Amino acid sequence: MQIGRRFRRLASKSPRELIHAVRVSARYRAMVWRLRIPRIGNDRTAYILGLFGTGRWYIIEQISQNIGERAKYFKDEIRFHPRPTSMIYSGHVTRKYISRGFEQPVTMTRILEAVGLGFADLVFVYRHPLDSLLTNWVFWRTIVREGRMVAGVTQMYRHAEELSAELERNFEEFKAFAQGDPRFYAGMSGPRFLSFAEFVEETELHLQSPGLMLRLEDFMFDPLKEFSRVAEILSPGLDMSRVRVARPRTEPYGYLAVRERSSQFRKFIAALDVESRRRIERLGCPECF
C-alpha cells in the first residue's frame, strides 16, 4: 500500500517536478553518505597508491591484518572528501600518461591537493621496474590470450627457468608489450598500457610527490621495520610488539635470474634508452646494465 501511494504521488507530478525530486533525493543521499564518513581522533584520509606489479596488494594485506580498527575503513577505490577522514583508499594512478588500468592524472592532482591542504596522507609503493615489467607482461598477456587475471608470475610459472623459456619463445610479443605497441591489445577497446619507458618515468614522477615512499624490496629484508613507517601514519601509537608482518611472497630482484637465462632479455636490457637507464639508477636499484 505504501509503495502504491508513493507511485501515485510520483505519477501525478509533471516531468519538471519529477526531475527536481530526483535531484533533491540524490543530494540528500550524498549528504547522508558524507555525514557517515568516519573520522577517529586526528586521522587523515589515506591514499595507498602504486603502479601495476609493484606490491600494492601486499602492503594492503599487511595493513588489513595489523592496524586494528581503522582497517575496516579500507576501500579499493579512490574518493575525495572536503575534510580529513579515517578512510583508506587505494588504486593505480598515473601522473602524466593516460593508460589502461589507471585512474587519470587529474585524479592524482586532486590527491596532491588534499595532501597539500592537510586533509590526506599519501603512501606510494614501488619496485624495481624490470621486475614489474615481467609481472605486467604475464598479467596482460594472460588477459589478452585467456581472458582471465592472475595474481602474479608465480601463479603461471613455478621457476625462473619456465618464465625465461616462455620469454625466449615469445620475445617479439614481450618486446611489443614493453614498447607500448597497441597491437598487443588487438581486440580490446580502450587505451594501451604504459610502455616500459613511460612506466619508469611515472615511477620517478610519483617519487617526487610529498608522502611516504615504500620500496617493496625493503620489506623482503626487514618487513617489521618498513611496516612501522606505515603504522606511524595510519595508526600512531600502535603496539608494534603485537604486529606480525609477513615477507612478500616474491623474491627480490627476480629479473636477475631471467636475465641470466634469457639472451633476448639481456639484449633488451642492454638496448634500453639512456634516459630510462638513468631513471632506474636514480631509483636506487642495483646495477643491472
Q: Is 99 helix (H, G, I), strand (E, B) or coil?
A: coil
Share of the chain above pLDDT 70, in %: 86
| Kind of pairing between the strands at 74-75 and 88-91 | parallel
Report how far apart, in Å, the C-alpha atoms of 270 and of each of 68, 176, 180, 274, 288 are: 46, 17, 18, 10, 9
| Identity of the amino acid at 216 | L
Q: Which of 3-17, 209-223, 228-242 has the lowest mean pLDDT?
A: 3-17
Name the residue type at position 211.
G
Topology (CATH level 3) of domain 45-289: Rossmann fold (3.40.50)
Binning pLDDT at 50, 70 and 90, where does residue 153 land? confident
Instruction: Output the pLDDT for position 128.
Output: 96
Report pLDDT digits (tens) over 250-276.
Answer: 889 999 999 999 999 999 999 999 999
Going by pLDDT thresholds of 50, 70 and 90, the confidence category of residue 23 is low
With a pLDDT cut of 90, the percent of the chain lying above it is: 75
For residue 289, the model assigns a pLDDT of 59
How many angstroms separate the Cα of 247 from the Cα of each of 49, 116, 127? 19, 32, 14
pTM of the model: 0.85
Rounded average pLDDT over 233-255: 92
233 neighbors 123 (Cβ within 8 angstroms): yes
Q: Which 8-state DSSP code applies to residue 42?
A: T
Q: How much is the mean pLDDT over the chain?
A: 89
- pLDDT tens for 26-67 read 554 444 445 579 999 999 999 999 999 999 999 999 999 999
Sign of the alpha-carbon dihedral angle for 151, 228, 88, 62: positive
Sequential DSSP letters for 14-38:
-HHHHHHHHHHHHHHHHHHHHHH--
pLDDT value of position 22: 54
Q: Summarize pLDDT for 59-106 with one digit per residue, the tens.
A: 999 999 999 999 999 999 999 999 999 999 999 999 999 999 999 999
d(CA 27, CA 8) in angstroms, rounded, equals 23
Domain ranges for the chain: 2-36, 45-289
What's the pLDDT score for residue 235? 94
Task: Let me know: does 109 contact 62? Beta carbons within 8 Å.
Answer: no
